[in-house]
A and B are shown apart, each in its own frame.
Chain A
Amino acid sequence: MSESKTDPGADPGRFLLRPARSEDLPALERFAAASAFGITTLPPDRALLAERLRRSASAFQSGDAASGEEIYLFVVEDLARGEPVGTSGIAASAGFRERFYSYRSEYVVHASPALGASNRTHTLHLCHDLTGVTLLTSFYIEPAYEHTLAPQLLSRARLLYIAQFAERFSDRIAAESPGLADDSGRCPFWDAVGRRFFDMDYPAVERLAVGRSKSFIAELMPHSPIYVPLLPEEAQWAIGQLHPVGELPFSILVDEGFDPDTYVDIFDGGPTTHARVALLKTVAASRETRVADTSAAAAVPSAQRGWQLAANTRRDPFRAVLLPAPAGGERSVSLTPEASIALGVYAGDTLRVAPLVLDGEGNGDGNSSHDGGRHE
């Protein structure tokens, strides 16, 4: 990594994850405008975004008895720039008052001993399996930051929040990823499946789903399984295929241990990843520790041993940053004054930390990520 001040990747310590606030509205508008893909929970609409921020603020501030309706919105801030450069969210309970629909991939094996033949057929079953699970949503990172550790903090620190306040979330977690569709609205999976029941193209049904619930539309779909071999080849191929814009957040979740192969979106066939929260890499490796002191010298990036995620243990304001990984055997953490201020913690306070272990040289495989919507 270069130490140039213009390279945002030079110092991962400059990134701070925190709850989104009403002042972040202009930044969210910017993200929403840049992420024109998918059914969006970040609609490019100032009033809707402001409502979303209000809803998130009340989620962070809500009492101990969570209703499941909460939608938490985070931003990652570049402290050197003093403004958000990405956002991510958590919906406490998928579907909440409604059923949350997915297609579940199943394989049926049929055999005819007399004919000496058998087959293994891929089928898609409309299901509500993921209703009520916690849903990761709304991931967006500015393109200039895709190759930094900011997206890692943005995606994974959410998991520390969930681990810390497990009683507010399901023990299962899922995330929708965008499927294949092109700019003209052609979507091979929708065109082969949903379109048989709705005479409208994919963008039209997405607009419909913004105004209404997705389950309303799902309830008009046939409830018998789809036998995949009967679909056109292009649609078969699109099942579970990720749109390139979703590559970065998807790769982070798969690295965390999310299963990408079981569920697909009922509209575009994109993968809906899911996992048990307790088995996720960051959650399983996380532990509580104590702040030993707040006068550590800044680490020299080139001498880094690697990084760890560190979060305070407060509901609001929740804060998370990247800290140098411990040298080994340390039970407590020494913070620089800057990190202490960013996290809002002092000597003696509790932190939840988890190692950030990345494959390869560690910046994800960073395709662009312009999906600001319900998708990860």
Chain B
Amino acid sequence: MSDSTRDWPIRAAAPGDVGGLIPLLPAPGQGVSLLPPGSGNSGREWLLVAVRGPGEAVAGCVRVRRAIGLDRPRFWYHVGCAVHAAPELELFHRQRTLLLGNDLTGAWEIADLACDAAMLGAEAQVILLRRLLRAALALIVRQRATGTSAGGEPTVICELPGLRDASGQSPFWQSLGRHFYDGDPLLAAERFGPAWKTHVAALLPHEPLLVSFLTAEGQAALGMPGRSAEPAARVLHEAGLRAGRHVTLDDAGPVYEGDLDLLGA
């Protein structure tokens, strides 16, 4: 076992890793495995883990998905802009808008970019996350060049958790989502895993929304990563991905986007 996260091996997850993954990952949802179907290489989804050494515990992970949203619809809010102008009245209003949609369907996704924060110092976390992200991007490049998914969409995204308070409540959800689904979003996320966003999207407004109709707290949370996501946001930025014009629909966390042809990964 090495003391430096720089040397910890990264490999495909195996059934024996599940116990070590549980503390790192959000609950996958009932009946859903932590591991991708087909023991780590389904051609659609890959899960990589960093371990401290051969046979050692899992210290970090990253998941890669290809062509997302083609089996189950995926939803995001597009953050747009509406201008209301009347020069004669000296009126000029620029407003942000939210529109629910499936814009990022077909993209590659990097998800579950996480490490054992309790065991690692801040700098060690960043180093490990950086390595995991590079491994994930390298996997995508390999797959695009040679794999069953040769070519494919050039877009890669990574959703980050948004702002939440100590009890896990999101001010964005409090301002918007709760008016349309009165159940507990945390319980629903626990029960359905990532699919919960697909289920709740059916209840949310499908017409453009003006951000100014949200509460001040809800507006402030738009596109802001939660504290726990700050190291991940940093390494995504370093790798050339940027928070784009989309946010997640439950807590308005940023969706980082990159163009694989330009990332040089």
Q: Is the CB of B203 within 8 A of A110?
A: yes
A83–chain B nearest beta-carbon distance, Å: 42
Asked if A224 meets B207 with Cβ closer than 8 Å, knowing A112-B199, A114-B192, the reply is: yes
Asked if B180 and A119 make an inter-chain contact with CB atoms under 8 angstroms apart, the answer reads yes
CA distance A110 to B91 in the complex (A): 36
Of A144-152, A226-234, A270-278, the segment with at least 4 beta carbons within 8 Å of chain B is A226-234
Our pick among B85, B192, B202 for the contact of A111 (Cβ within 8 Å) is B202
Which residues of chain B have C-beta atoms less than 8 A from A119's C-beta?
180-182, 203
> Binding site of B, secondary structure by majority: helix, strand, loop or mixed?
mixed
A111: chain B residues at CB < 8 Å are: 202-203
Q: Are A117 and B183 in contact (CB under 8 A)?
A: yes
Contact of B182 among A117, A222, A224, A230 (CB under 8 A): A117
Which residues of chain A are within 8 angstroms of B39 by Cβ–Cβ distance? none
B205 at interface (Cβ–Cβ under 8 A)? yes
How many interface residues does A have (CB within 8 Å)? 25
Q: How far is the CA of A227 from the CA of B181 in the complex (A)?
A: 14
Cβ contact within 8 Å between A117 and B209: no
Q: Which of A110, A111, A198 counts the most chain B CB atoms within 10 A?
A: A110
Contact A110 B180 (CB under 8 A): yes
Is residue B208 contacting chain A, with contact meaning CB distance below 8 A? Answer: yes
Tell me, yes or no, whether B24 is within 8 Å of chain A by CB.
Answer: no
Q: What is the bound-complex CA distance between A226 and B63, given in angstroms?
A: 39
Chain A's closest residue to B178 (CB) is A229
A227 touches which of B85, B179, B196, B202 (Cβ 8 Å):
B179
In the complex, whether B214 has a CB less than 8 A from a CB of chain A is: yes
Given known pairs A112-B202, A114-B192, A114-B199, the reply for A230 and B91 (CB within 8 Å) is no
Q: List residues of B (92-148) whose CB comes within 8 Å of A's CBs.
A: 93, 95, 97
The residues of A that contact B183 with a CB separation of less than 8 Å are: 115, 117
* Chain A residue nearest in CB terms to B82: A222
Q: Which single member of B179, B200, B205, B213 contacts A112 (CB below 8 Å)?
A: B200
Q: Among the listed B85, B188, B213, which residue makes an inter-chain contact with A115, where contact means beta carbons less than 8 Å apart?
A: B188
Query: Between A and B, how many residue pairs show CB distances below 8 Å?
Result: 79
Number of interface residues of B (CB under 8 A): 33
Chain A residues contacting B210 (CB-CB under 8 Å) are 196, 222, 224
Q: How far is it, in angstroms, between the C-alpha of A197 and the C-alpha of B95 when the chains are bound?
A: 9
User: Do B209 and A112 have beta carbons less than 8 Å apart?
Assistant: no
Contacting residue for B200 out of A115, A198, A221, CB 8 A? A115
Question: Is B204 an interface residue, CB under 8 A from the partner?
Answer: yes
CA distance A90 to B182 in the complex (A): 47
Asked if A225 is an interface residue, CB under 8 A from chain B, the answer is yes
Picked from B84, B180, B188, the residue with its CB within 8 Å of the CB of A220 is: B84
A121 near B202 with CB under 8 A, answer: no
Q: Does any Cβ of A come within 8 Å of B176's Cβ? A: yes
Q: Are A196 and B212 in contact (CB under 8 A)?
A: yes
Contact check, A117 vs B91: say whether CB atoms are below 8 A apart: no
Q: Which residues of A contact B213 (CB under 8 A)?
A: 196, 226-227, 230-231
- Of the residues A221, A230, A231, contact of B176 by C-beta under 8 Å: A230
B85: A residues at CB distance < 8 A: 220
- Complex Cα spacing A151 to B181, Å: 48
**In the complex, A230 Cα to B89 Cα: how many Å?**
28
**Contact of A118 with B by CB under 8 A:** yes
Within 8 A of A (CB), among B194-223: 195-196, 199-200, 202-210, 212-214
Minimal beta-carbon separation of B95 from chain A (angstroms): 8
Which B residues, 55 to 88, have Cβ-Cβ distances below 8 Å to chain A? 82, 84-86
**Assuming the A-B contacts A222-B210, A224-B208, are A229 and B180 also in contact, with contact meaning beta carbons closer than 8 angstroms in the complex?**
yes
- Give Cα A114 to B199, complex, Å: 6
Cβ–Cβ < 8 Å partners of A224 in chain B: 97, 207-210
- Give the distance in Å from the alpha carbon of A118 to the alpha carbon of B204 in the complex: 10
User: Which residue from B84, B200, B205 sits with its C-beta under 8 Å from A197?
Assistant: B84
When A117-B182, A121-B180, A220-B86 are in contact, do A110 and B204 touch as well, CB less than 8 Å? yes
CB pair A117–B205 under 8 Å, yes or no, is no
Are the C-beta atoms of B181 and A121 separated by less than 8 Å?
Answer: no
| Nearest neighbor of A114 in chain B, beta-carbon distance | B199
Expressed in whole angstroms, the minimum distance between the Cβ of B81 and any Cβ of chain A is 12
State whether A110 and B202 are in contact (beta carbons under 8 Å apart), knowing that A222-B210, A229-B179, A230-B214 are contacts in the complex.
yes
Residue of B nearest to A115 (CB): B199
CA distance A199 to B176 in the complex (A): 24
Which A residues touch B82, using CB under 8 A? 222
- Cα distance A225–B210 when bound, in Å? 10
Q: How far is the CA of A115 from the CA of B209 in the complex (A)?
A: 23
Shortest distance between the CB of A309 and any CB in chain B (Å): 45
Asked if B203 and A115 sit within 8 Å, CB to CB, the answer is: yes
User: Which of A117, A199, A221 is in CB contact (< 8 Å) with B203?
Assistant: A117
Bound form: Cα–Cα A197–B213 in Å: 12
Whether B203 pairs with A118 at a CB distance below 8 angstroms is yes
Name the B residues within 8 Å of A112 (CB-CB).
181, 199-200, 202-203
Give the CA-CA distance A107 to B69 in the complex, in Å: 29
Judge whether B84 and A222 touch: CB under 8 Å: yes
Report the bound CA distance from A41 to B183 in whole Å.
49
Name the residue in A221, A222, A229 with the highest tally of chain B Cβ atoms < 10 Å from its Cβ: A222
Name which residue of chain A comes closest to B195, CB basis: A114
Contacts of A197 in B (CB 8 A): 84, 91, 93
Residue positions of B touching A, CB distance < 8 A? 82, 84-86, 89, 91, 93, 95, 97, 176, 179-183, 188, 192, 195-196, 199-200, 202-210, 212-214
With A196-B213, A198-B89 given, name 5 new contacts (CB 8 A). Answer: A110-B180, A110-B204, A112-B202, A221-B84, A230-B214
The 5 tightest CB contacts between A and B, nearest first, are A229-B179, A114-B199, A112-B202, A224-B208, A230-B213
11 pairs from A and B in contact (CB 8 Å cutoff)? A111-B203, A112-B202, A115-B181, A117-B181, A117-B203, A119-B180, A121-B179, A121-B180, A199-B91, A221-B84, A227-B205
